[in-house]
Structure 1
Amino acid sequence: MGLGARRMVLTIWGLAAAVGAVPVAAQAQVSAEQRMAASKNCLSCHGVQRKIVGPAFKDIASKYADHPEAATRLADKIRNGGGGVWGPIPMPANPKVNEAEARQLADWVLTLKPGG
């Protein structure tokens, strides 16, 4: 194998390794809280940056970040549901989320305030 062929093989292997590493790197940037939000079906209705059925998490953070009881109130909404705050579609209760998980999710959502 000539020098040019060796370089091409090394380049191809290098590109293959780099492409294979992308999903691992991308997964590392997803927080434990975001993975929990996905596993508890929060992301079925809420996007981090955009509204789906419910408001975007960043919009929730913007609205409530300066409220002293925001995390407690959001944790309660996560577990027990609610309605009328963001429009006519109510948020259903989520009994699969325990109190500690609800608080962790609420604290995480509040960190998503733009510029925060």
Structure 2
Amino acid sequence: MHCQHCCLLACAAQANAAPLTIELPAESVKLRPSQAPGYSLAQQKCGICHSADYIEYQPPGFDRTHWTALVRKMKDSYGAPVSDTDVEVIGEYLAAAYSGAPATATQPQTSVAPATNKTVNDVQALLDQNACLACHAIDHKVVGPAYRDVAKRYKNDGQAVAKLIEHISQGSSGRWGEVPMPAFAGLSSQALEQLAEFVLRQ
């Protein structure tokens, strides 16, 4: 009976205890710079779902085949927003930057919208091609802030378009919480302006 009483008291104490909070350190690991064309693409795509730590934890003996297979798994198993061509280009970058493999003459044909009037004017295509809606929604927070909240914050800011263009192209950290926004450096100036103006209209 005594043991049962002690257990009940311990359970009651735990139930009344303050909730445990864990504060994670700010993201500090960055992708290794490279002249390989997949570097900027990896900055855009990989950071949407995980930090660069994940890449650093992979075995050092990975060759291009292994890296490419890892990226393809992200696409096929987890729905990463990369095309088949992106898979090859990012795999080559990872092999060059993390395993010392020589780069080949592969040229990226990415899913990032090209700078043409047809695609730049189609905001929905830009949102889809760059997986914007994987982290944002119009009217509620997902991973990042709702577009309406962003528009509200910058409503009376005369530099709003320029600031959003900078945040989209160069990435952003600490403005809306712990999770950083990856850089989308591969977008054209027209596409960046179109996206910024779209967000501010919400």
2:198 maps to a residue whose letter is W
* Alpha-carbon offset, residue 96 of structure 1: 3.2
CA contact under 8 A between 1:71 and 1:107: conserved in structure 2? yes
Name the structure 2 match of 1:70.
160
Q: Which is richer in helix?
A: 1
Whether 1:97 aligns to 2:187 is yes
Name the structure 2 match of 1:3.
none
Q: 2 CA distance for matches of 1:32 and 1:66?
A: 26
Q: 2 CA distance for matches of 1:73 and 1:58?
A: 16
Name the structure 2 match of 1:48.
138
Name the structure 2 match of 1:87.
177
Name the structure 2 match of 1:34.
124
Q: Deviations over 1:12-70 (max 9, x none)?
A: xxxxxxxxxxxxxxxxxxx9313311221111111111111000111100111210000
Name the structure 1 match of 2:150.
60
1:107 maps to a residue whose letter is E
Name the structure 1 match of 2:36.
none
TM-score normalised over the length of structure 2: 0.39
- Count of residues paired in the alignment: 82
Q: Unpaired segments of 5 or more residues in structure 1?
A: 1-30
Q: 2 CA distance for matches of 1:65 and 1:104?
A: 17
* Alpha-carbon offset, residue 92 of structure 1: 0.7
| SS class of match (1:107) | helix
Q: Deviations over 1:69-100 (max 9, x none)?
A: 00010011111101111011111101332221
Q: 2 CA distance for matches of 1:35 and 1:61?
A: 20
Higher RCO (Cα < 8 Å, 6 or more apart): 1
Give percent identity, aligned residues only. Answer: 35
TM-score normalised over the length of structure 1: 0.66
Name the structure 2 match of 1:16.
none
1:90 maps to a residue whose letter is P
- Superposition RMSD in Å: 1.4
